[in-house]
Structure formats: structure tokens, C-alpha cells
């Protein structure tokens, strides 16, 4: 009994502190924001090649609001392993930390909550808490990605072949029942991986639609003054390619757009590009 209790205590401690540090000499010279990378212009570039983006399936990550932590997941197809990783900026340098399993997810605009499907973790003085359920009705929905606005609105998809993106607002302090977006967003063969702007001015997601550039393209819809949503706008041929382009998010500082691009079987990288194109797309309405 004593041994079992000790094992559980150690596991909980690992979850709370976030993982095990694997600082690398190659990171020693990386200083400044964005893991020490030179910002891109209007043409997407691979983000942190050889550091974040390697010869694996590297899934789009999320920065914390203070831009000092970057969480992402790497899938090694050969070994069939998923590894959750965070790059932390401490003492004027970046270090890589391999996290406990099932760590990661979207981070709320206030940095206090990490959403992982229909579960979440809370930021504590020692790191992230254990997983907690969002409760009904969310616990009954096979949520893949849930993203939250500054007002607490949830926008989320589901783990289905033909997904539906829904939202749930907080009105007078009470969480509202989820509702599906209209056909402006929920159209096409595949609708998934939403990102809602902190001020709810737009939603970005990926979908397979007629007239797209490839298998899966990234789209945006803007919220109008009357609360309705604009028709979907394709993010264009600089971002969308013949292959799958998915998982788009905007950095907390609003400066850069990050997304996932598949280059080959088992190889996809995190891309980033100046986010000014979003304002230009809005002028097309």
C-alpha cells in the first residue's frame, strides 16, 4: 500500500510540474520571442526548423499569453508514439521539456486554463493540475479541439468523420447549451480544428470544400455587427496547398498565424506567417 501511494504521489507531481526537462545545447543560443526565430513575412515559412518542426508529424502548437511557453505534440509514425512537448523561456533562454502523456491543448486567453477536448486543466502555483471534466453536456460530446474566447465562449468540433462546429456562450454568469453554427461554417466533407479570436471577431477552421486548393483548406468567417457570421473565406493559395493544411491558430499577441502543413507521408510541419492578411480578407466582405 505504501508503494502504491508513493507511485501515485510521484505521478501527480509530474503532472503538476509539467514534465521532465531535456535542455539541449542547441537551444542555448536561442533568445528572444518565438523560440528565438526570425519572424516571417507574407509567405508562410516552417516554424523553428530542426527544433519544433522535424521529420515527424509535428502538430500546431499554442503559446501562452505571456509568450514564454509553447506547447505542441509530435507524432513519430515509425515508433507510433505521441510526445507532448513544451518549450519554456526561462533565465533568458529556451529549454525543451518533455511532458507527461495527455498534456497540451488550447490555452484560454487569460492563460489560466488548458482545454483538452471535453476536459481541462487549471494553472496552479506548481504548474498544471490534473485533468478535470467539463461536465454535461460537454462530457457526452466527443470533442477534439475546444477553443475559448476572452468572454468564455467555447467553440469546438467533434471527433467524427463529418464534424460539426458548435459554440457555447456564457450569459449572466451561466453556461449556455451548445448550438451548431450555420452553413457558413458547417459545410463540406470535413469541418474541424476551430480557433476563435479572443474578441470573437472571427473563427478559423479547416474543411474539405468544393473550390478549395487541396484535400483540406483553412477558412475564416467574420462576425458581423448584428452577430451573424459571414460566408466562409478561403485563406488563399499562399496558405492552402494541394495537400492538407489544418489546425490554424493566431499567436496571443495577434502578430502571427500558425498552422499545420503536410509535406509527405508521416511528415508535417508547423508553419507561420504574418497575420496581417486577416485584416485584408475582411475587406472582401
Domains of the chain: 44-282 (2.120.10.30)
- Higher-confidence position of 202 and 15: 202
- And the C-alpha cell for 144? 477534439
Mean pLDDT of all residues belonging to the chain: 88
As a whole number, mean pLDDT of residues 201-217 equals 93
pLDDT band, very low/low/confident/very high, at 263 (cuts 50, 70, 90):
confident
Query: What is the rounded CA–CA span in Å between residue 66 and residue 187?
Result: 35
Query: Which residues lie closer than 8 Å to 259 by C-beta, 6 or more apart?
Result: 44, 60, 218, 239, 245, 246, 247, 248, 249, 270, 271, 272
pLDDT digits 0-9 by tens, 146-160: 999 999 999 999 987
Helix (H) or strand (E) holding 17: helix 2-17
- And the C-alpha cell for 225? 455587427
The pLDDT of residue 132 is above 80: yes
Identify which of 3, 72, 47 has the alpha carbon closest to the alpha carbon of residue 258. Answer: 47
pLDDT digits 0-9 by tens, 89-102: 998 899 999 998 87
Number of Cβ within 10 Å of residue 40's Cβ equals: 17
Query: Which residues lie closer than 8 Å to 12 by C-beta, 6 or more apart?
Result: 130
- Higher-confidence position of 92 and 26: 92
As a whole number, mean pLDDT of residues 20-28 equals 51
pLDDT of residue 13: 38
Amino acid at each position: 500500500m505504501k508503494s502504491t501511494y508513493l507511485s501515485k504521489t510521484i505521478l501527480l507531481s509530474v503532472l503538476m510540474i509539467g514534465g521532465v526537462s531535456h535542455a539541449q545545447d542547441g537551444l542555448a543560443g536561442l533568445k528572444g520571442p518565438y523560440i528565438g526565430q526570425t519572424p516571417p513575412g507574407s509567405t508562410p515559412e516552417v516554424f523553428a526548423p530542426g527544433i519544433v518542426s522535424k521529420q515527424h508529424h509535428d502538430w500546431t502548437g499554442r503559446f501562452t499569453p505571456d509568450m514564454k511557453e509553447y506547447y505542441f505534440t509530435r507524432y513519430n509514425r515509425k515508433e507510433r508514439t505521441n510526445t507532448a512537448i513544451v518549450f519554456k523561456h526561462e533565465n533568458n533562454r529556451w529549454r525543451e521539456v518533455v511532458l507527461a502523456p495527455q498534456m497540451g491543448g488550447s490555452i484560454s486567453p487569460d492563460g489560466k486554463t488548458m482545454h483538452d477536448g471535453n476536459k481541462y486543466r487549471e494553472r496552479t502555483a506548481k504548474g498544471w493540475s490534473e485533468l478535470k471534466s467539463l461536465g454535461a453536456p460537454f462530457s457526452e460530446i466527443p470533442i477534439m479541439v475546444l477553443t475559448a474566447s476572452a468572454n468564455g465562449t467555447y467553440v469546438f468540433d467533434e471527433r467524427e468523420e463529418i464534424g460539426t462546429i458548435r459554440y457555447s456562450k456564457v450569459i449572466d454568469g451561466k453556461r449556455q447549451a451548445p448550438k451548431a453554427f450555420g452553413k457558413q461554417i458547417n459545410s463540406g466533407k470535413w469541418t474541424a480544428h476551430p480557433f476563435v479570436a479572443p474578441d470573437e471577431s472571427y473563427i478559423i477552421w479547416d474543411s474539405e470544400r468544393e473550390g478549395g486548393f487541396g484535400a483540406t483548406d483553412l477558412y475564416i468567417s467574420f462576425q458581423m455587427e448584428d452577430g451573424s457570421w459571414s460566408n466562409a473565406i478561403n485563406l488563399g493559395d499562399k496558405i492552402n496547398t494541394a495537400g492538407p493544411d489544418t489546425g490554424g491558430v493566431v499567436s496571443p499577441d495577434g502578430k502571427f498565424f500558425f498552422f499545420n502543413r503536410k509535406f509527405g507521408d508521416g511528415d508535417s510541419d508547423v508553419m507561420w506567417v504574418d497575420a496581417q492578411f486577416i485584416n485584408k480578407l475582411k475587406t472582401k466582405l
